[in-house]
Structure 1
């Protein structure tokens, strides 16, 4: 067990998660840095979070998974993360960072990026894929990071269920995964791990969950803090930020972090409407949208013939107001893409499922090679 000193004069901690540093989307580059604009937006949200945490001056910061968007963050991303963490540690704030599925290598031979944090004082990386614990005076951190597979993770969670938790200490549990039995907390990602609700014991003073991107209270002592910026349109209606917890009073407060608006515009139903009526609705929907937003406009019951008749100059005008304007027409005869994607799964999961149906003796070798190539291709894209 690793032990460190911490001030007993305060018991405020911060719970942050799913920052996905290095996340990229769309083709737009920032003119000053040449970075992907959404990547830069995310860095700005993280820096705002650190600025606010420095004002709060908590005793600990708990990051409950997916610090990085990939297992191999760029040099820029890694340097940025280290510098922001060092801003906290120089202020006397200790940082405990748990590995989630995005930051954990999918093949055993790849070294874990979190090893680099071991060289920095007051940064405590947890990435071994098994039960670990840290103690800071009377505060004990219990954690299970992303494991190689579901079976190992479940076995490690059994250790958590059997823990003796002396009342003389404050006990905090950190986990990254989807809450088993609740579809809404699944991100439908490869190597997503499931957390049995029985693990979330009331004896813990606080349970910091990561993986689900929405802020959600699971139990009186258990929360998902959510991500710090909306990354997809499914998150467009979610508040983003982090949580502040007072271990003495058990109070939990949310600190919102503002970021570039990501807006799912009101759906336009083209059924029995003239093209001019559809265009009028498209223009009206974006009137009050802040300049520079990321927007998606879904139009249902719009067939291919009508789609090409939409005024291109109007669409260009709408796009000019946004960082990104996604015009998404849907023919009433088309299958539901969301349902289709859920049934198919992502490419990595489909590859593993395919191999599981084969009889080749070299299945494990093919799986490791294939996942490695897919991961490299994803990072390149």
Structure 2
């Protein structure tokens, strides 16, 4: 059986206020092409189909189109809910949709009930584990502690109990959690929502021992934790911390005795990401940055003094600059300056604030603008009390 493992679509998500629905639609086109070209039998989507519990109508429309196209393809589909999804909304009409070969699993109570598929070597039992909130399952499942490890261990106990009744069946499990053999084995990205409970979110890979393949979701970078336990990562980059990640999905072959191979299939990159650092003039003049002129750019300027109109000037060369930061070389980190206010004018305090924060005094034009702003905010001592609304009539 040939399986395509994907996760964390986050349909409807924006990237620093830039809409990504068109890029997500391009990924769906790529996914369908891989299904046909690689003769995929099963597509598994390990959670976070949407970016929010109440997705925008355009995101729902794209999800509907994606699932309809997959239902009409050669592949079966098993899809689970993630921590960003509303399990009830995503799972609506799932029992009816099963008949189309699209199996949506969002109910924790059904974790021990597999979707049974057949290939030349017999039965493959596919267990779709939705995101398991420890607070939601602790009481009904009688968990000894409140943790992700306890919740997934209990779920896998139900999986193993069912699998023990299916002699010779191979197994695939979908799960949405922070799984690692050691705390430093994987590095989360900035776009992943924290799911820790009591400061603990890590689940050991040993929870999935004995499973032929564990298709994981939640982390946005691809990771091979063991040969049979893998993250596909998100199909698109959702933060600049993912700029160096290669996005895509795992093409997994199950043979007669379990996992035969897993090959990573790269996804298209509609717009690459770049993190640039240097003085403004260096970034504007360096020919090495020509390759980034169509990229989404995060720029960090190292000028000793903040350049004027830095964003406007950067966007003339890099039109898709989204984030601009300042880290002057050799400057000590500063917070909000603490100015001496006693006996000084508001204008003088504002000028000192600008100089301390920027590293250079305000220009004459800026000083005049600040004076106008300060005067506009000050109480007018000549206001007529009778016109201020304090006297009736």
Fold shared per TM-score above 0.5: yes
Counterpart in the other structure of 2:53: 71
Aligned equivalents of 2:282 and 2:188: distance in 1?
A: 38
Aligned equivalents of 2:266 and 2:108: distance in 1?
A: 31
Matched length = 299
Residue 261 of structure 1: how far off its partner (Å): 3.3
Contact 1:63–1:98 (Cα < 8 Å) also in 2? yes
Residue 328 of structure 1: how far off its partner (Å): 1.8
Contact 1:54–1:88 (Cα < 8 Å) also in 2? no
Aligned equivalents of 1:330 and 1:221: distance in 2?
A: 43
* 1:165-190 CA-partner distances (Å, limit 9, x unpaired): 45511111111111254253445624
TM-score by length of 2: 0.68
Alignment RMSD, CA only?
A: 2.7
* 1:213-242 CA-partner distances (Å, limit 9, x unpaired): 111111011110111111111111011111
Counterpart in the other structure of 1:160: 156
Residue 116 of structure 1: how far off its partner (Å): 4.0
Aligned equivalents of 1:49 and 1:157: distance in 2?
A: 32
Alignment counterpart, residue 134 of structure 2, candidates 142, 149, 172: 149
TM-score by length of 1: 0.70
Contact 1:233–1:262 (Cα < 8 Å) also in 2? no
Secondary structure, counterpart of 1:213 in structure 2: coil
Bigger relative contact order, structure 1 or 2, given CA contacts below 8 A and separation 6+?
1
Contact 2:78–2:104 (Cα < 8 Å) also in 1? yes
Contact 2:240–2:275 (Cα < 8 Å) also in 1? no
Secondary structure, counterpart of 2:26 in structure 1: helix
Aligned equivalents of 1:309 and 1:80: distance in 2?
A: 42
Change (3 A) 1:325 1:147: closer
Alignment counterpart, residue 119 of structure 1, candidates 62, 79, 96: 96
Counterpart in the other structure of 1:129: 108
Counterpart in the other structure of 1:364: none
Alignment counterpart, residue 62 of structure 1, candidates 35, 41, 44: 44
Gaps of 5+ in 1: 1-10, 29-35, 106-110, 271-277, 337-381
Residue 282 of structure 1: how far off its partner (Å): 4.1
Alignment counterpart, residue 68 of structure 2, candidates 53, 76, 86: 86
For residues 250-329 of structure 1, what are the structure 2 equivalents within 5 Å? Answer: 250-268=260-278, 278-284=280-286, 287-300=289-302, 302-303=303-304, 306-309=305-308, 314-320=313-319, 323-329=320-326
Contact 2:221–2:245 (Cα < 8 Å) also in 1? yes
Residue 118 of structure 1: how far off its partner (Å): 3.8
Change (3 A) 1:167 1:279: farther
Contact 1:64–1:99 (Cα < 8 Å) also in 2? yes
Residue 117 of structure 1: how far off its partner (Å): 4.1
Secondary structure, counterpart of 1:287 in structure 2: helix
Change (3 A) 1:312 1:125: closer
Aligned equivalents of 1:244 and 1:335: distance in 2?
A: 49
Residue 20 of structure 1: how far off its partner (Å): 0.7
For residues 216-255 of structure 1, what are the structure 2 equivalents within 5 Å? Answer: 216-248=223-255, 250-255=260-265
* 1:94-118 CA-partner distances (Å, limit 9, x unpaired): 110011101136xxxxx43322444
* 1:55-76 CA-partner distances (Å, limit 9, x unpaired): 2231111101111111111222
Compare 43-52 and 226-235 and name the one that shifted more: 43-52
Change (3 A) 1:312 1:100: closer
Change (3 A) 1:311 1:148: closer
Larger radius of gyration: 2
